[in-house]
Chains A and B, each alone.
Chain A
């Protein structure tokens, strides 16, 4: 069996992708995810895979589109500025129902921003950013172990639903070294890729396309996509709760903020504060039912984000006015501390 190893977050995503059977990586350098690209450059040839440093993020995501159309597991990775460029391709992948996986290791924005950790690309990830009525499965790890686990899950869900899936991390998770273990997940069997192009002998031609011009055709297609998205919402919501049973105040946080918030819960409890943590793992589908349920039991919810308020909107939608929802957000590389969080809690 695999043993525990010390891994960097970015490397863990790359190695987990290889272990998920991904043999096609197309990327373009950008901090803070460069280790991932470099890892793939070294590892892909070792496993007989393909690594291409593309001329741009636009080209990289379109190479993913090509490899995915041929039925192979393919991926790319980037950070906010590069994901902005990939959004065109992601919209086409979603429209053509091609499975693919990508990772976004978030840095500060807008614009060139900086290269410090941030969570300001929550909207970019969960709301698309590309054009059209589409959704992407967004998975949010909060440890190096989860970087690997959720990458494997991402590839599986992408194939299961013929949809792009992504891991949303940040510069801290990308750079962090932690002991972890590559586990072989037990996933349910996947449907055959009987839509992929190539090797056309003995069957009619296939078309991979996101174009639906005839009257009513696009509406029909989009309604089918909606049905799929509803299935994903019904079956794939994931979250973790920590010390929520008797909590009067619930923190809601993902990624690096979830780690810090966990520290705040432990310290707060030691001081007698009835506090707990809800940590969404799927940001889309957002675990609204759980958060909605939570709002019936607690007095206050404090959302902790490294942005000036993005996930808080999903929390407010889920809570629907049933309790107070406040935000503690840092931005541009600012990282919330345990003390700051507890100070905010004391003022609720």
Chain B
């Protein structure tokens, strides 16, 4: 019988250690599929982030450089300048990109660095036990907002795509989700496009993926997918915020 569903070659022959229903595994599988389909494995460099995806190198089968929390866009800049023909594929959470590393991502985008960032927005700090992230929704309960995120005290959830879209240096910015098979397919298409933009030398590209963290949201895996659709997407609308064609 012909095999119709198999592990991508760029995904190592191991099972992941993510919680049941976690989005990281889905997104990393997509990355592996895209890298396979584009035939770029030997020229791709990944970045295991400080966050739940810290073991990215255990799953994805290409060269990896591990930066400090939030510093991926700066480390990626240094690497890309040395290896301009390589695909530099950052991967970070909302803690890394919208809190501790905000300066690094804004300036990498503003310099129009030819790099791609996969931004996994799960509205919490997964790894450290579900604390508030800048992307945590108003009233959302987390370990550090036990009564819910308070607008007056904690400010507004931060929309990174929209923020980076104001910069002339960003080339391709899109927000997707992994909450349904259709959204997973769109995420895959977006990651492929982001890498193409990098390979064409068009500038900074980022795919923000709304991703479930059922454990820290206190939901079942199925409920968590629904929560993305019903709670996250209204605040974090899906779609393209910048694309090389839409540049003025």
CA distance A54 to B75 in the complex (A): 12
Contact (Cβ within 8 A) A63 B61: no
CA distance A60 to B45 in the complex (A): 20
Q: Which of B42, B61, B64, B83 has the most CB of A within 10 A?
A: B83
Q: Which residues of B contact A69 (CB under 8 A)?
A: 65, 75, 78-79
CA distance A245 to B43 in the complex (A): 60
Contact (Cβ within 8 A) B64 A65: no
Contact (Cβ within 8 A) A197 B78: no
Contact (Cβ within 8 A) A211 B54: yes
CA distance A62 to B76 in the complex (A): 9
Q: A55-B104, A198-B63, A211-B66 are in contact. Are A65 and B78 (CB under 8 A)?
A: yes
Q: Across the two chains, which residue of chain A brings its CB closest to B110?
A: A55
Q: Across the two chains, which residue of chain A brings its CB closest to B60?
A: A205
Q: Which residues of A contact B61 (CB under 8 A)?
A: 205
B25 at the interface (CB under 8 A from A): no
CA distance A54 to B81 in the complex (A): 13
Which stretch, A88-96, A176-184, A262-270, A301-309, touches the partner chain B? A88-96
CA distance A89 to B68 in the complex (A): 7
Contact (Cβ within 8 A) B107 A67: no
A38 at the interface (CB under 8 A from B): no
Q: Which residues of A contact B78 (CB under 8 A)?
A: 24, 26, 62-70, 74
CA distance A109 to B81 in the complex (A): 34
Contact (Cβ within 8 A) B83 A70: yes
Distance in angstroms from B245 CB to nearest chain A CB is 29
B188 at the interface (CB under 8 A from A): no
Q: Which residues of B contact A1 (CB under 8 A)?
A: none
Q: Across the two chains, which residue of chain B brings its CB closest to A61?
A: B74
Contact (Cβ within 8 A) B66 A200: no
Q: By DSSP majority rule, is chain B's interface helix, strand, loop, or mixed? A: helix
Q: Across the two chains, which residue of chain A brings its CB closest to B47?
A: A66
Distance in angstroms from B222 CB to nearest chain A CB is 31
A4 at the interface (CB under 8 A from B): no
A199 at the interface (CB under 8 A from B): yes
Contact (Cβ within 8 A) B42 A201: yes
For B94-105 the 0/1 string (1 means CB < 8 A from A) is: 000000000110
Interface residues of A in 166-209 (CB under 8 A from B): 197-201, 205-209
Contact (Cβ within 8 A) B74 A24: no
Q: Which residues of B contact A55 (CB under 8 A)?
A: 103-104, 106-107
Interface residues of B in 47-74 (CB under 8 A from A): 48, 54, 57, 61-68, 71, 74
Q: Which residues of B contact A59 (CB under 8 A)?
A: 71, 74, 77, 103-104, 107
CA distance A52 to B111 in the complex (A): 10
B4 at the interface (CB under 8 A from A): no
Q: A52-B77, A67-B78, A209-B48 are in contact. Are A197 and B64 (CB under 8 A)?
A: yes
Q: Which of A63, A200, A207, A209 has the most CB of B within 10 A?
A: A63
Contact (Cβ within 8 A) A205 B62: yes
Interface residues of A in 40-67 (CB under 8 A from B): 50, 52, 54-56, 58-60, 62-67
Contact (Cβ within 8 A) A66 B63: no
Contact (Cβ within 8 A) B81 A50: yes
Contact (Cβ within 8 A) B82 A200: no
Q: Which residues of B contact A200 (CB under 8 A)?
A: 41-43, 62-63
Distance in angstroms from B89 CB to nearest chain A CB is 12
CA distance A266 to B107 in the complex (A): 53
Q: Across the two chains, which residue of chain A brings its CB closest to B48?
A: A209
Q: Which residues of A contact B76 (CB under 8 A)?
A: 66
Q: Which residues of A contact B80 (CB under 8 A)?
A: 66
A210 at the interface (CB under 8 A from B): yes
B149 at the interface (CB under 8 A from A): no
A149 at the interface (CB under 8 A from B): no
B175 at the interface (CB under 8 A from A): no
Contact (Cβ within 8 A) B74 A63: yes
Which 5 pairs between the two chains have the least Cβ-Cβ distance?
A66-B78, A62-B74, A63-B78, A209-B66, A70-B82
Q: List 30 A-B contacts (CB under 8 A).
A: A24-B81, A50-B81, A52-B77, A54-B107, A55-B103, A58-B74, A58-B104, A62-B68, A63-B74, A63-B78, A63-B81, A66-B78, A66-B82, A67-B79, A67-B81, A69-B78, A69-B79, A70-B78, A70-B82, A70-B83, A71-B82, A89-B68, A96-B66, A197-B65, A198-B79, A199-B43, A199-B83, A200-B62, A205-B57, A208-B64
